[in-house]
Structure 1
């Protein structure tokens, strides 16, 4: 079975395109379609106003969005649109810094992924790391387990079904970072994560530079508003309670 696969790549990044093509070319079941990444730095002010809700973003995260974050979110939305234009039930979305940690198991996972993907819900399955997850596993493929999760970082490799794509595109102008899985969880997306992790992004492994990661770290150093701190305080209190009740766990 062929799996529709969208690979996000900046047209200027020929070296990353070549690297990721080498990574995925060994898997003949991936039906690859290239998606030109949106370069947030090249967007004009009027384009940003039309495509992205910066005011709501600031209200949500207590900071201005980075150009790279805007471009990243818009790039992933283009993948969702293409999925809905197709006849596919779901698609795999890859970023051009992805690499598979266990390449010998990739065929096994995708051969059986239909058993994990929930067709009647808004479902996303991340193949990379997740941070906060529910302790009861939902499904298994070989020695891999799938867990519902709340928080994760990164969008280098995940599957999204049509229902989830429709849900995420129902908002006319996005106001989130592409990997705000906590937002998705709160808005009815059924999130599943694989463990052991099957994929990783080279940026998270410090193999390539990432403007977004570097600038996020510097943003975290500044002072935040009282409203934002209180919102996060109550979130962490809730997560702490769920952890003490052994309903959720954290992965490092």
Structure 2
């Protein structure tokens, strides 16, 4: 399976930290598109600022544009690679990813399952740990015994209560799904979406998206200087999240019963 690492060329320290992890030597590095030195006029050639604001009700940042364009260009490389079958998955990661123990072995077990989804989120951003309570409360799936086991590992896959913004730290995507993205790029005057708008990708692109629990990858805490602030923010909002949890859980159970076979 092809594996891609998206990383800014200038971020040598991040790359060094990434490749210090086991089983990473087979990743192909894609030099991320650095948009910080470009003007809005230059960026408007490939990104629709007005469409973004209409969709997200705020202005886009240059970093977000660079992220979206970088992931799209990885998809282009996948499409152009004749060695990759339309049904094959590729792994796309960013250079701040931290893999769980035995990641490669567990990923192999996941790929041996009878998977048909277009995208499988094996990682998530802005989560302090691989099995954090935030996952269960704010992003619930169905009951554990109803989730699909991944071989003899501790991992399971399922649908979340609904698609959500999970970040793009680590995910599997089929070549056919990469092609679906580029059909949208060619159809529209310019790209306008966030790289992790899995709500849009499900609703408008018609992509089937699964999640893995616990997570196989998170953002590396050594690169997340505000991790304690993040943890505090998540805890402060926990009461409100717990109030919404019963409905989310019910929606997750209903979705998995109707979709996960």
TM range, normalised to the smaller chain? 0.7 to 0.9
The 5-angstrom pairing of residues 54-73 of structure 1 reads 54-73=49-68
Which has the higher relative contact order, 1 or 2, with Cα contacts under 8 A spaced 6 or more apart?
2
In structure 2, the CA distance between the partners of 1:245 and 1:6, relative to structure 1 (3 Å rule), is: closer
Q: Which residue of 2 aligns with 1:145?
A: 156
In structure 2, the CA distance between the partners of 1:20 and 1:206, relative to structure 1 (3 Å rule), is: closer
1:27 and 2:37 matched: no
1:184 and 2:201 matched: yes
- Separation (CA, whole Å) in 2 of partners of 1:206 and 1:53: 34
The 5-angstrom pairing of residues 55-134 of structure 1 reads 55-86=50-81, 87-88=83-84, 89-100=88-99, 102-103=100-101, 105-116=102-113, 118-119=115-116, 123-129=118-124, 132-134=139-141
Q: Displacement, 1:47?
A: 2.8
Give RMSD over aligned pairs: 2.8
Stretches of structure 2 lacking an aligned partner (at least 5 in a row): 125-134, 234-244, 256-261
Q: Displacement, 1:159?
A: 0.8
Please report the TM-score for the alignment, with normalisation by the length of structure 1: 0.74
Please report the TM-score for the alignment, with normalisation by the length of structure 2: 0.72
- Aligned residue pairs, count: 213
Q: Displacement, 1:195?
A: 0.7
